A and B are shown apart, each in its own frame.
Chain A
């Protein structure tokens, strides 16, 4: 499905004009698609072509792969990529938690709607708000630590955001807190649409709660869980800027403890004024995302009528 078709060729007129101006149609699809098509070509097509050009140039001159070797040997870029890599470890946690929450909600009749809204709420909150509120909550003398101290867990009252060894873990926990609602809703929606007979049959055969859901429910949910995993992997690699920017005042601190690739790009372009390096890093990030996009398509093809066409 996704062949390498150059963007410029996307809207060339079909050879067989009869297909366009068919019996029952008078205007043809071209005019209907034109406005949106132009906008998408400008925002995506132009940008990606320009990005590739910029990453091979320095102050307008062609420099080959020099930008790439500069970026790839930059210690800060390596740290940033490593942090994105570490964030990927939240994905299996997210998938498991979402599955558990979805099953719990599915099995609950009393108050299901209320719990569902509550679990989902974090996902719709703006990240700047989440970042600011958690920032206050997790201060050294903030609400969390004062609660921990009051309960006698003095040792657990860490410097959640100020300790370089701790900051990225804290950030991961906040991301999990926010993203788990999405997975829950996604899996729950699929769960509700599954045929009930298999579940009931297993229940009558005496399968207990845990056995039932691990052996019967989980396999049937594989496509939607895989979709969620790919989606979250893309988030961890290329959509975490907002968390880091808001919680560290755009610095990725303490030290470089929370610098991620997006922040590296942003800072290279707008703080260090080297758009060429930023463009190169952005191109590398796009290529990394592309790997996940391919996985995304494989799943989509395997689950025709499954996850996407509900």
Chain B
């Protein structure tokens, strides 16, 4: 099965494995300290931060969960899910408009959309805050959701347009000759073919919205409206005397994301390599 390696090749393979193990450990260190730290007592953590938790206890988790974590968690879940759902619907519809019809200026509009992907959110912050204040929408979920949708749309439309364009015209034409309306063609021919890109987009957007801090910080100022990311930035200073509680909080905040990543890694990588320029 495997071909024979010369001694020099073997040295090469082993040293490459060693370098990779080193890189992997460096990538894993903060995660290791976070999870083990969350199961220790304050004393254990200060005396031996690197050791495994010999007597794991969950006091950190109870303390974090009895704080406002459930509220933050709910808020994050609500904002993220709703924003991503609406984004996907809007983007799929728009991408169909871009992919199915040739119209004048289409490529220019698409070009502008792509360039919008790199506009930093901080640039939009002040005008949108002024607008939100005028409308009385500061500290409402609808404001943040609207802003998230707007920011997720350019990349989402771009990705889906590329995919829809690759669908053979013969398929959609066949449906149209059979007398299907545009909506019907879209729903029963295009969408069933679009599972993978839709999943990719959902995962990339879920992670982005879940992790977003700056806009959530500015638009949701009242305590009961905070998202998880805003909550945990303030959480640190309140529990400066109980590191395990902080670490437990961080673990809770990472968990949904970690699960999404494990199950959707393949799709996530596709999304990134499709030309994503999303930062945080």
Q: A residues bordering B, Cβ < 8 Å?
A: 1-3, 5, 7, 10-12, 14-16, 19-20, 22, 24-33, 35-37, 39-40, 42-44, 46-48, 50-51, 54, 101, 104-105, 107-108, 110-111, 114-115, 117-122, 124-137, 141-143, 146-147, 177, 181-182, 185-186, 189-190, 209, 227, 231, 234-235, 238-239, 241-242, 245-246, 249, 262, 265-266, 269-270, 275, 278-279, 282-283, 285-286, 289, 292-293, 296-297, 300, 307-310
B103→A40 contact, CB < 8 A: no
**Whole-angstrom distance between the alpha carbons of A42 and B46 in the complex?**
50
B94→A35 contact, CB < 8 A: yes
Known contacts A24-B176, A29-B103, A262-B122, A46 near B17 by CB under 8 Å = no
B20→A105 contact, CB < 8 A: yes
Known contacts A32-B96, A245-B233, A186 near B273 by CB under 8 Å = yes
Contact residue among B122, B130, B254, B272 (Cβ-Cβ distance under 8 Å from A126): B254
A129→B250 contact, CB < 8 A: yes
Known contacts A40-B150, A50-B131, A238 near B122 by CB under 8 Å = yes
Please indicate the chain B residues that have their CB under 8 angstroms from the CB of A296 in the complex: 115, 118, 277
The residue in chain B whose Cβ has the minimal distance to the Cβ of A307 is B275
Closest chain-A Cβ to B43's Cβ sits at a distance in Å of: 14
Of B23-31, B52-60, B63-71, B194-202, which stretch is located at the interface? B23-31
- 19 more contacts with CB within 8 A, not counting A107-B16, A108-B20, are A24-B173, A26-B182, A27-B183, A43-B124, A51-B127, A54-B126, A114-B24, A117-B265, A121-B261, A136-B243, A136-B246, A147-B49, A238-B123, A245-B214, A265-B126, A266-B125, A275-B129, A292-B118, A296-B277
**Whole-angstrom distance between the alpha carbons of A14 and B106 in the complex?**
10
Known contacts A47-B123, A54-B127, A245-B233, A5 near B247 by CB under 8 Å = no
Please indicate the chain B residues that have their CB under 8 angstroms from the CB of A282 in the complex: 122-123, 125-126
A185→B269 contact, CB < 8 A: yes
**Whole-angstrom distance between the alpha carbons of A307 and B274 in the complex?**
7
A33→B30 contact, CB < 8 A: no
Please indicate the chain A residues that have their CB under 8 angstroms from the CB of B103 in the complex: 14, 19-20, 29
**Whole-angstrom distance between the alpha carbons of A135 and B30 in the complex?**
10
Check: B210 CB closer than 8 A to any chain A CB. yes
B residues 151-165 near A (Cβ < 8 Å) are 151, 153-154, 157, 162
Q: B residues bordering A, Cβ < 8 Å?
A: 12-13, 16-17, 19-20, 23-24, 26-31, 33-34, 37, 46, 49-50, 90-91, 93-94, 96-98, 100-105, 107-109, 111-116, 118-120, 122-131, 146-147, 149-151, 153-154, 157, 162, 173, 176, 181-183, 207, 210-211, 213-214, 217-218, 229, 232-233, 235-237, 243, 246-247, 250, 253-254, 257, 261, 265, 268-269, 272-275, 277, 279-280
Closest chain-B Cβ to A222's Cβ sits at a distance in Å of: 16
Closest chain-B Cβ to A91's Cβ sits at a distance in Å of: 13
Known contacts A2-B112, A32-B94, A234-B277, A143 near B33 by CB under 8 Å = yes
**Whole-angstrom distance between the alpha carbons of A236 and B86 in the complex?**
30
Contact residue among B27, B162, B236 (Cβ-Cβ distance under 8 Å from A132): B236
Please indicate the chain B residues that have their CB under 8 angstroms from the CB of A242 in the complex: 213-214, 280
A266→B91 contact, CB < 8 A: no
Contact residue among A14, A42, A136, A239 (Cβ-Cβ distance under 8 Å from B150): A42
Q: Which has the most chain B C-beta neighbours within 10 Å: A111, A125, A189, A269?
A: A125
A36→B90 contact, CB < 8 A: yes
Contact residue among B104, B182, B217, B277 (Cβ-Cβ distance under 8 Å from A14): B104
Closest chain-B Cβ to A191's Cβ sits at a distance in Å of: 11
Q: Which has the most chain A C-beta neighbours within 10 Å: B20, B46, B269?
A: B20
A40→B26 contact, CB < 8 A: no
A125→B213 contact, CB < 8 A: no
The residue in chain A whose Cβ has the minimal distance to the Cβ of B34 is A133
Known contacts A279-B126, A282-B125, A25 near B279 by CB under 8 Å = no
Please indicate the chain B residues that have their CB under 8 angstroms from the CB of A246 in the complex: 213, 233
9 A-B pairs (CB sep. < 8 Å):
A1-B108, A11-B109, A27-B183, A29-B101, A115-B23, A126-B229, A177-B27, A189-B269, A269-B129
Please indicate the chain B residues that have their CB under 8 angstroms from the CB of A300 in the complex: 114
Please indicate the chain B residues that have their CB under 8 angstroms from the CB of A146 in the complex: 49-50
**Whole-angstrom distance between the alpha carbons of A262 and B91 in the complex?**
29
